[in-house]
Amino acid sequence: MAVTEMREALNQALKEEMTRDEKVFILGEEVAEYNGAYKVTKGLLDHFGPKRVIDTPISESGFTGLAVGAAMMGLRPVVEYMSFNFSLVAMDQIISNASKMLYMSGGLFNIPIVFRGPNGAGPRVSSQHSHNMESIYAHFPGIYVMSPSCPADAKGMLKAAIRCNDPVVFLENELNYGLKEDVPDGDYIIPIGKGDIKREGKDVTIIAWSRAMGFAKQAAEELSKDGVDVELLDPRTLKPLDMPLIAESVKKTGRVVVVEEGHFFSSLGAQVSESIYSNLFDYLDAPIARVAQSENPMPYAANLEAATLPSVSKIIQAVNQVTYRN
């Protein structure tokens, strides 16, 4: 156990899994000689050599397709997108090929690939580098979707993703790479589908993941000063959702706020809310409140960027709404 940055925790997971299984390799833009645009792959080229740590041209559709073919023939690729926005260029490969292959081949060809990289808004990068892709990939059967909010989870979840025999979309966040905390050494695995309570509380459940969990934590601190006891639930795996954990928490608090960076309409948060309404309606004491990005592309201007994203004050306002305070 040592205090470790998120990028280093991810690096440990990659290094350990590549050491454990020589079929695992990583490819993507700048992953090798540049040591990763965000240094997640730092040192891997020196350690494993160019056969297994591969710089690609700017050719997402091509190298993603390559990974699908390699996976069909028995390799276990990890595909890094420098930004998940660039996965849009490769979406036909991820959805039409990777996610459907096992099914349309009647069970003959499974696709053990991890598609990973930073998701969501970076700082001041405007409209085309700031998409949140979770609801899009989660829509299609045949892909697992995971998104860690802290270094320890990042390590344990990425190791589980690499060992999975199916496609996993693994969504990191640029602004979380520098987060630090204790990370367990060695074989630390967080199974796909297991959420986590990040803070126990009895008054209201805030469900959030990835960077939104950071805002939720701050909001919980503020609210505790006012005597509101917030429970923080991180689903960690976004598809499938850990419904038993969500049910346990909702039954306890009866009040839910869902926080996400993605847009409001047709989002993962909308799905979380629907799952709660359909399965746990009788336990709710108030309608669910949702905090999400407003319905506009990401603007460049600092004030507008701040206005569109979830924030501590928006979360506090939502908690006030579901607890009928003020």
Partner 1 sequence: MASVKKAKTESIAREKLVEMLEKMLLIRHFEEASIKAYQQKKIAGFLHTYIGQEAVGVGTLAHKLPQDAVVTTYRCHGLYLTLGGSPREGMAELFGKVTGCARGKGGSMHFFSKEHNFLGGHGIVGGQFGIGIGAAFKSNYDEDNAVSFIFFGDGALAQGTFHECMNLAALWDLPAIFICEDNQYGMGTANSRAIANTDIASKAEGYGIKGYTINGMDLQEVHETMKKVVHETRTTRRPALVHMKTYRYFGHSVSDAGLYRSKEEVDTYKLQDPILMAGQTLMENKWMSEDDLKALQKKVRAVVQDAVDFADESPEPPVEELTQHVFRDEVV
Do you know the residue count of the chain? 326
49 binds partner 1 (CB under 8 A): no
Of 229, 236, 240, 138, whose CA–CA distance to 190 is shortest? 236
Write out the H or E segment, with its range, that includes residue 29: none
By CB under 8 A, is residue 51 in contact with partner 1? yes
74 binds partner 1 (CB under 8 A): yes
Of 5, 29, 80, 129, which is the active-site residue?
A: 129
Q: Which of 178, 191, 287, 297 binds partner 1 (CB under 8 A)?
A: 191
What is the smallest separation between the CB atom of 79 and partner 1, expressed in angstroms?
A: 11
How many other CB atoms are found less than 10 A from the CB of residue 220? 23
Q: Which residue among 24, 45, 53, 67 contacts partner 1 (CB under 8 A)?
A: 67
DSSP 81: P
62 vs 299, beta carbon nearer partner 1: 62
CB of 185 vs partner 1, minimal distance in Å: 25
Q: 3-state DSSP helix/strand/coil percent for the chain, to nearest 5?
A: 40, 20, 40
Neighbours of 69 (CB within 10 A): 13
Distance in Å, CB of 171 to partner 1, minimum: 17
Residue pair 109/73 in contact by the 8 Å Cβ criterion: no
Q: Which of 81, 115, 137, 144 is the binder for partner 1 (CB under 8 A)?
A: 144
Nearest CA-CA partner of 219 in 136, 118, 311, 296? 311
Asked whether position 271 contacts partner 1 by CB under 8 A, the answer is no
Task: Mark whether 263 is an active-site residue.
Answer: no
CB 108 to partner 1: min, Å:
5
Cα-to-chain-centroid distance, residue 288: 22
How far is residue 57's CA from residue 120's CA, in Å, rounded to a whole number?
A: 23
| 247 binding partner 1? (CB under 8 A) | no
127/165 with CB nearer partner 1 = 165
Q: Give me the sign of the Cα torsion angle 311, 313, 315, 317.
A: negative
- Contact between 145 and partner 1 by CB under 8 A: the answer reads no
- Asked whether the beta carbons of 216 and 315 are under 8 A apart, the reply is yes
Catalytic site includes residue 60? yes
Catalytic residues: 60, 129
**Residues near partner 1, by CB under 8 A:** 25, 51, 56-57, 59, 61-75, 92-93, 96-97, 101-110, 141-142, 144, 164-166, 191-193, 237, 240
